[in-house]
C-alpha cells in the first residue's frame, strides 16, 4: 500500500511538472530555451540592466562603473563576443561571478540581457 501511495505521488508530481512545462511553452511564447539563439529583446534587456545592474556596472557607454572592478557592459560585450554569454548569466543567477553575488534572473531576463549586451559596441 505504501508503494502505491509513493507511486501515485510521483505520478502526480510528474503530471504537474509536465503540465506546467506545456503551459510555459504555449504558442504565445515563441522564445526558445537557449538564450544565445533566442531573439531576446535588447530594449527589455537594457531596462533590466538599468534597473538591476547599474548599481555596480555602467550599462551604457564606456565610462568607469560605479563599483571599482566591475566591468562596464561594453567591456563585457567585448569579453564575451565569441562565447556563450547566456551561460555566464545563468551561472550568475546560481552562484554569482567573482565578487558579484548571485542575481535572480529568469530565462527571459537572461535572453533579454544577452541581446542587450550583444547590441553594444565592444569597448575593447
What rounded mean pLDDT belongs to the chain? 76
- Rounded Cα distance between 52 and 119, Å, is 18
Model pLDDT, residue 52: 93
Q: Which pairs count as long-range contacts for 74-83, CB under 8 Å and 24+ apart, including other chains? A: 74/120, 74/121, 74/122, 74/123, 75/122, 75/123, 75/124, 76/117, 77/117, 77/118, 77/120, 77/121, 77/122, 77/123, 78/122, 78/123, 78/124, 79/124, 80/117, 81/122
pLDDT in tens, 19-49: 444 344 443 344 444 444 557 999 999 999 9
Model pLDDT, residue 38: 55
Model pLDDT, residue 123: 58
pTM of the model: 0.66
* Residue linked to cell 537594457: 46
1 burial (CB, 10 Å; 0-12 / 13-18 / 19+) is: exposed
Query: Which domains are present in the chain?
Result: 42-119 (1.10.760.10)
Q: Above 80 in pLDDT, residue 106? A: yes
Amino acid at each position: 500500500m505504501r508503494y502505491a501511495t509513493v507511486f501515485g505521488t510521483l505520478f502526480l508530481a510528474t503530471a504537474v511538472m509536465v503540465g506546467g512545462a506545456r503551459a510555459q511553452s504555449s504558442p504565445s511564447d515563441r522564445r526558445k530555451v537557449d538564450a544565445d539563439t533566442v531573439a531576446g529583446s535588447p530594449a527589455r534587456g537594457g531596462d533590466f540592466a538599468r534597473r538591476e545592474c547599474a548599481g555596480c556596472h555602467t550599462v551604457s557607454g564606456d565610462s568607469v562603473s560605479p563599483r571599482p572592478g566591475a566591468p562596464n557592459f561594453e567591456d563585457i560585450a567585448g569579453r564575451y563576443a565569441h562565447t556563450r554569454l547566456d551561460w555566464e548569466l545563468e551561472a550568475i543567477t546560481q552562484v554569482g561571478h567573482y565578487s558579484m553575488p548571485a542575481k535572480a534572473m529568469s530565462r527571459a531576463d537572461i535572453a533579454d540581457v544577452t541581446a542587450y549586451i550583444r547590441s553594444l559596441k565592444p569597448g575593447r
